[in-house]
Amino acid sequence: MLEPLLHSFDAEKIDATPATHDQIARVHQPRLIKAIEEVCKQGPGIVDHAPTYVTQTSYQDALLAAGGTIACTRTVLNGDASNAFAIVRPPGHHAEPDHVMGFCVFNNVAIAAREALTNGMGRVMVIDYDAHHGNGTQAACMDDERFGFISTHQWGIYPGTGWIEDAPHARGRLVNVPLNQFAGDGVFARVADDIFKPVVESFRPQMLFISAGFDAHWNDPLTSLGLSTQGFFNISKRLVQLANEYCDGKIVFVLEGGYDPHNVANGARAVFDALTHSTVGKETDDPSPHPEPDHEARIAEIRKWHGIKS
């Protein structure tokens, strides 16, 4: 199914190889890596209360997912492509340095960000618009001043982390944007202009990584945010514009969550549309039926905490 989609956007498939132990160990503790390898050898099982289910191939699958994200990163770093989209599974943004979590085994986006830092980038930033907080990515970048992070997420759901005042030592670099249910296209547009842009402008990353979670769609079965397919396109297009303004166009999207296959397919297409300067087709017109709550006070609170000036 991937080849026709790539062809329709004049995109090319990037061949991937599994990430090495050393590449994974830039984010995850070696004893965790070994433990995952061993538990997968023993066959099907649950390794986290989410529940995170693994099989005998899950360790190799996770290495390949991280390797695919690294391959996209290297392709953009080398100038062989202006941007890339790592369509990989299992996802990664919940995986913390010392444990598996939330359907995620290795933190693909954090591993890719470390790859960029190891290969000449002075500063990188991950922006995560999955409906759930990217707790694993936050943990991975917590004490690295070269590594910025912004997460929009629905407050009050799994994993229960990501409040505004997390990590006060990293104000302006580690930015959490907890949103109320049914925050949709309009709220995200405001967040992009009033939070994403000034934070990127201040931090000045040389490369952007995007944790693209399509569970932020309004009819995802597990969450209650309010984005439409057009909303995914709008936010992705804005991020591409920010990369063009501040990162010489260097941007890599990485697939995260999404629990309705149609939303994931439409969201992925919206990202390709944004990356290739196309427009969203009318066949994916699916506006949210829910009124959006007022987030002006929340946005102002976040801007004040991080010292974002008007």
- DSSP, collapsed to helix, strand or coil, labels residue 224 as coil
Of 143, 150, 82, 146, the closest CA to residue 120 belongs to: 146
Q: In whole angstroms, what separates CA 31 from the centre of its chain?
A: 25
Q: Which two tokens stand for residue 158?
A: 């799994």
Which run of H or E residues covers position 126? strand 124-128
Contact 227, 218 (CB under 8 A): yes
Q: Catalytic site residue 94? A: yes
Helix (H, G, I), strand (E, B) or coil at 243: helix
Closest CA to 56 of 76, 72, 31, 39: 39
Catalytic residue (one of 93, 94, 133, 306): 94
- Structure-block tokens of residue 82: 């202006």
Is 184:291 a contact under the CB 8 Å cutoff? no
What are residue 86's DSSP bridge partners? 254
- Active-site residues, by number, are 94
